[in-house]
Amino acid sequence: MEGATAYSYPLIFLPFISSAFVPTETMPNIVRAFAENQPVTSIVNSIRALLYEGAVGNGIWTALAWCVGLMFIAYFIASKVFKRQLG
């Protein structure tokens, strides 16, 4: 169980380096570059657009691609860890 929590730490901190709390335009350049290209920002922007503006645009596809990609990566890592624990 202890190993599983170590993998979750990056996912816990991703929302803090996204547009969820502050606009990315106000961030320093190096943080802005990361925040604009990480998964939580596109998901937050898509949800915000749905709730306030009504038009999502192409951002929804970026958000869905991030979600599907992360799901496949998590499945691959989980299956490798599970097989290693069985063997």
Chain segment 20-79, per-residue pLDDT in tens: 667 777 777 877 777 777 777 777 778 888 888 777 777 778 778 888 988 898 899 889
- Contact assessment for residue 63 and residue 39, using Cβ atoms and an 8 Å cutoff: yes
Q: DSSP of the chain, one letter per residue? A: -HHHHHHHHHHHHGGGGSTTTS-GGGS-HHHHHHHHTSHHHHHHHHHHIIIIIS--TTHHHHHHHHHHHHHHHHHHHHHHHHHHHH-
Residue 72 is predicted with a pLDDT of 92
pTM higher than 0.75: no
* Domain boundary assignment for the chain: 2-86
